[in-house]
Amino acid sequence: MSARLTNKRILLGVTGGIAAYKSAELIRRLRDAGAEVQVVMTAAAQEFITPLTLQALSGNPVHTSLLDPAAEAAMGHIELARWADLILIAPASADAIARITQGIANDLLTTLWLAAAGKKAIAPAMNQQMWADAATQANLGVLRERGVAVFGPASGLQACGDVGAGRLLEAVELAECCAEQFNSGLLQGREIIITAGPTREALDPVRYMSNHSSGKMGFALAEACVEAGARVTLIAGPVHLPTPDRVHRVDVVCARDMLAASEEAVAQALSRAGHINTVFIATAAVADYRPAQVADQKIKKGEKDDTLDITLIRNPDIVATIAGLNPRPLVMGFAAETQSVENYATSKLFRKKLDMIACNDVSRSDIGFQSDDNAMTVFWPEQDHLGRHELAKASKHEIARQLTHLLAQRLGARA
Ligand code: C5P
Helix (H, G, I), strand (E, B) or coil at 18: helix
Q: For ligand 1, which residues put their CB under 6 angstroms from it?
A: 195, 255, 282, 284, 286, 288, 315, 317-319, 333-335, 348
For 27-56, the pLDDT digits (tens) are 999 999 989 999 999 999 999 999 999 999
Question: What is the predicted pLDDT for the residue at 1?
Answer: 41
Question: What is the predicted pLDDT for the residue at 184?
Answer: 77
Our answer to whether residue 225 is catalytic in this structure is: no
Query: Mean pLDDT over residues 221-235, rounded?
Result: 95
CB 98 within 8 A of CB 24: no
**Mean pLDDT lowest for which of 75-79, 136-140, 195-199, 211-215?**
75-79
Looking at the predicted structure, is the pLDDT value of residue 275 above 80? yes
Please give the Cα distance from 403 to 84 (Å, whole number).
18
Question: What is the predicted pLDDT for the residue at 3?
Answer: 54
In this prediction, what percent of the chain has a pLDDT beyond 90? 75
Residue of 211, 318, 349 to mutate, ligand 1, most atoms within 8 A of C-beta: 318
Atom in ligand 1 nearest the alpha carbon of residue 332: 10
Looking at the predicted structure, is the pLDDT value of residue 368 above 80? no
Highest mean pLDDT: which of 81-85, 133-137, 397-401? Answer: 133-137
Q: Given 160, 225, 254, 359, which residue is catalytic?
A: 160
Alpha helix (H) residue ranges in 4-85: 22-32, 51-58, 69-74, 77-83
CA 287 – ligand 1 centroid, Å: 8
Residue of 262, 317, 348 to mutate, ligand 1, most atoms within 8 A of C-beta: 317
All domains in the chain, ordered by first residue: 9-180 (3.40.50.1950), 191-295+308-414 (3.40.50.10300)
CA 316 – ligand 1 centroid, Å: 9
Q: How confident is the model at residue 268 (pLDDT cuts 50, 70, 90)?
A: very high
Atom in ligand 1 nearest the alpha carbon of residue 322: 20
First and final C-alpha spacing in the chain: 33
CA 352 – ligand 1 centroid, Å: 9
Q: Higher pLDDT residue, 47 or 66?
A: 47
- Other Cβ atoms less than 10 A from the Cβ of 279: the count is 27
Query: Mean pLDDT over residues 181-210, rounded?
Result: 94
Q: What stretch of H or E contains 14?
A: strand 9-14
Helices 134-145 and 94-102: angle between axes, nearest 10 degrees: 50
**Mean pLDDT lowest for which of 69-83, 227-241, 277-291, 310-324?**
69-83
Residue of 209, 289, 319 to mutate, ligand 1, most atoms within 8 A of C-beta: 319
How big is the chain, counted in residues?
415
